[in-house]
């Protein structure tokens, strides 16, 4: 067994290092749970070996040291910390201690407040005007952050009303809401700057800016939880009512605060709040329970560094340390390749986590993470766990770099990353089994091959039963195999096979759209069909030839080249043709495409044809059909109840025709 003196000395040194990085440098090195474990271990050892007591031990202090660059402020009343409870039994013990000390076995009234994960501050008001703001610091001396706090809109510069004490010290937590934190980190990523580990770290870093204009741009909030100095006036005799007074004077208080009778109600509140923790707009790491009656608080008093009348119930940590064993690359339904970290299993937020997302190649580079590293993972609510930082000092000598694949790990096709995007994608498209379900759904959709009855649920069944592996397999489905599926009757099977047979006669434009080539929508598919007229001509087209087509730019051209160059895609295309997919030949002449170069907008209700049918007919005649009216619009077709598009067309002097004229236009072609 280790020497107790050496073990205590090592823990003190480790905790002081954690304090320095967290409170002084705003650069936390470990999750709160790791810090708590070290502190609890030190407390236990010092309790077992009282002869090793030292006033310099971190157990005798409240927080960190005052940071250089800020003036110091002496707290007139110390800002003490709270004892912690990590389970229900600890709450029962706390309640029993309270009742024993008060010599009363009746149920106590407690105020329950969510424990916001931010930075504790003290605000001093004189005659209703904010005089200064200070961090908690070491509990007796804090940093003067007045100029920064004045930028926070939820901090009143002048108190509302006129019944406040002449001198009033308000204490609370300054924090950053989750949405603001995500936006702040996103802007940092876009500028290539370092991101914050969590909202608490972001709030602390924002408050300690020497330039208050930087703080003013940060989405900080302040929620008060109590008072310190009160002079020249009276306040309510209950903690709950004091918070209500502060609210009337202009302070934010917790909307989730509750007044509870007895410890059982406190435990029920813990369960309720922990369940909704992930849905809150801000991070909390627990709940603070306080005896409501202030006269009872005075009777209970304090221990060395904490009040006897309050306790902090800590939730399971949302951040933990574990080891990254490997990285696997998953292919999503759109071809996006996502690196997934395989971790040494660890309990985070009450859930065992063994996987975490690494998002993309840029995130791997930003983190500087390697296989074998000790990493900090974060899990908030139902959000997928993610790696937020790397403990470089723990990196083993045999760590390995993470290499992003150059080919799809599922189908072997090349991967691509479009300039300006962070996502790397498989170019396999319809030939990639990882994308098969999405590809089949799209292929069968109404605007594509229009296979009635082949909906999402049936596609799931067919793929899971290995009856469909690619879109070409649709045309090999047999009656007996369909009939064996759950909830598939003879009539449904026959109807599906009839719809599949009917879909074999289509148009080149519909077929191209059905293939699901990236960035190739209905209009682009029609433009490609009109320009090349034959599938073979499109397949062999060069980039230069593709760029001659309206709606085709360099990115779309690259997607087309990659798609048709893929040998697996070529095989599936040939299978589709061999299994009966065909379309009428397109003949290019002025009579066949009299609307070439025209931009047309449809609006209102049409009675003789659906808008989808009209759109397809117009596109076959060479028109470009768009959804909005602009100066570039050549013609507007207005049905019944046409609205704002018709009004805009008339104001721009654009030609407008009704449904009867539309029939003449289509019938004349």
List the catalytic residues: 115
- Rounded Cα distance between 129 and 165, Å, is 11
Can you state the angle between helices 199-207 and 178-190, rounded to 10 degrees? 80
- Rounded Cα distance between 599 and 633, Å, is 5
Tokens read off for 383: 């959000």
**Residue 47 dihedral angles phi and psi, to the nearest 5°:** -70, -40
Tokens read off for 278: 């992930």
Residues in the chain, total: 669
Q: Which secondary-structure segment (H or E) carries 375?
A: strand 374-378
Residues 6+ apart with CB under 8 A from 351: 379
Tokens read off for 178: 């989750």
Q: Could you tell me if 318 and 385 are in contact, meaning their C-beta atoms sit under 8 angstroms apart?
A: no
**Token pair 């596609």 in the structure block, residue:** 459
- Rounded Cα distance between 664 and 669, Å, is 9
Q: Could you tell me if 459 and 437 are in contact, meaning their C-beta atoms sit under 8 angstroms apart?
A: yes
Residues 6+ apart with CB under 8 A from 44: none
**Residue 119 dihedral angles phi and psi, to the nearest 5°:** -125, 125
Contacts 24+ apart (CB under 8 A), 189-193: 189/362, 189/366
- Rounded Cα distance between 102 and 96, Å, is 10
Q: What is the DSSP string of 234-297?
A: ---SBHHHHHHHHHHTT----TT-EEEESHHHHHHHHHHHHHTGGGSSS-EEEEEEEESBHHHH
601: three-class secondary structure by DSSP: strand
Classify strands 319-331 and 336-348 as parallel, antiparallel or unpaired. Answer: antiparallel
- The H helix count followed by the E strand count for the chain is 24, 22
- Rounded Cα distance between 187 and 367, Å, is 16
Q: Could you tell me if 316 and 348 are in contact, meaning their C-beta atoms sit under 8 angstroms apart?
A: yes
Among left, alpha and beta (phi > 0; psi -120 to 50; other), residue 192 is left
Tell me which residue of 376, 331, 356, 359 sits closest to 186, measured CA to CA.
359
Q: Could you tell me if 21 and 31 are in contact, meaning their C-beta atoms sit under 8 angstroms apart?
A: no
Instruction: Give Dmax (Cα) for the chain.
Output: 105
- Rounded Cα distance between 104 and 64, Å, is 38
């Amino acid at each position: 067994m280790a020497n107790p003196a050496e073990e205590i000395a090592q823990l003190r040194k480790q905790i002081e290092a954690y304090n320095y990085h967290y409170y002084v440098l705003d650069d936390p090195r470990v999750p709160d749970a790791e810090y708590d474990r070290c502190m609890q271990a030190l407390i236990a050892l010092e309790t077992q070996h009282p002869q090793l007591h030292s006033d310099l031990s971190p157990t005798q202090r409240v927080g960190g040291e005052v940071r250089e660059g800020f003036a110091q402020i002496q707290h007139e009343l110390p800002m003490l910390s709270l004892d912690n409870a990590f389970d229900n039994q600890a709450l029962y013990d706390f309640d029993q201690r309270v009742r024993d000390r008060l010599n009363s076995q009746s149920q106590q009234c407690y105020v329950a407040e969510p424990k916001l994960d931010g930075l504790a501050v003290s605000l001093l008001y004189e005659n209703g005007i904010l005089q200064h703001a200070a961090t908690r610091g070491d509990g007796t001396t804090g940093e003067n952050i007045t100029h920064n706090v004045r930028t926070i809109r939820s901090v009143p510069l002048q108190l509302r009303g006129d019944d406040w004490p002449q001198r009033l010290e308000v204490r609370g937590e300054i924090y950053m809401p989750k949405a603001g934190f995500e936006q702040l980190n996103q802007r940092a990523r876009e500028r290539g700057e370092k991101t914050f580990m969590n909202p608490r770290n972001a709030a602390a870093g924002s408050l300690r800016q020497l330039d208050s204009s930087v703080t003013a741009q940060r989405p900080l909030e302040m929620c008060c939880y109590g008072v310190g100095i009160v002079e020249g006036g009276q306040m309510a005799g209950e903690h709950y009512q004091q918070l209500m007074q502060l609210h009337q004077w202009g302070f934010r208080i917790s909307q989730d605060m509750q007044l509870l009778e007895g410890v059982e109600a406190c435990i029920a509140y813990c369960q309720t709040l922990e369940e909704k923790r992930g849905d809150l707009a801000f991070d909390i790491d627990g709940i603070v329970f306080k005896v409501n009656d202030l006269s009872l608080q005075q009777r209970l008093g304090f221990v060395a560094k904490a009040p006897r009348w309050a306790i902090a119930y800590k939730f399971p940590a949302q951040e933990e340390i574990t080891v990254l064993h490997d990285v696997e690359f998953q292919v999503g339904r759109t071809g996006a390749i996502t690196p997934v970290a395989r971790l040494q299993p660890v309990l985070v937020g009450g859930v065992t986590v063994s996987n975490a997302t690494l998002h993309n190649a840029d995130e791997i580079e930003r983190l500087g993470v390697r296989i074998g590293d000790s990493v900090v993972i974060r899990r908030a609510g139902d959000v997928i766990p993610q790696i937020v930082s790397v403990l470089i000092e723990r990196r083993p000598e045999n760590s390995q770099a993470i290499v992003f694949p150059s080919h799809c790990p599922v189908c072997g096709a090349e991967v691509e990353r479009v300039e300006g995007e962070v996502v790397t994608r498989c170019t396999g498209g319809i030939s990639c089994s990882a994308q098969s379900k999405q590809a089949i759904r799209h292929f069968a959709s109404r605007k594509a091959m229009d296979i009635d009855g082949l909906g999402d649920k049936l596609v799931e069944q067919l793929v899971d039963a290995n009856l469909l592996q690619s879109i070409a397999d649709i045309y090999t489905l047999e009656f007996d195999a369909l009939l064996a599926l759950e909830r598939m009757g003879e009539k449904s099977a026959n109807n599906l096979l009839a719809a599949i047979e009917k879909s074999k006669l289509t148009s080149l434009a519909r077929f191209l759209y059905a293939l699901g080539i990236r960035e190739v929508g209905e209009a682009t598919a029609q433009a490609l069909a009109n320009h090349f007229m034959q599938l073979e001509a499109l397949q062999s087209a060069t980039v230069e030839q593709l760029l001659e087509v309206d709606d085709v730019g360099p990115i779309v051209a690259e997607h087309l080249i990659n798609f048709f160059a893929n040998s697996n895609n070529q095989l599936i295309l040939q299978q589709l043709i061999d299994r009966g997919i065909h379309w009428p030949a397109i003949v290019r002449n002025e009579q066949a495409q009299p609307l070439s170069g025209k931009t047309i907008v449809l609006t209102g209700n049409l009675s003789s044809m659906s808008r989808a049918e009209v759109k397809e007919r117009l596109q076959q005649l060479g028109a470009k059909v768009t959804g909005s009216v602009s100066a570039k619009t050549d013609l507007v077709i207005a049905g019944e109840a046409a609205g704002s598009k018709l009004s805009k067309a008339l104001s721009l002097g654009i030609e407008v025709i009704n449904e009867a004229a539309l029939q003449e236009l289509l019938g004349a072609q």
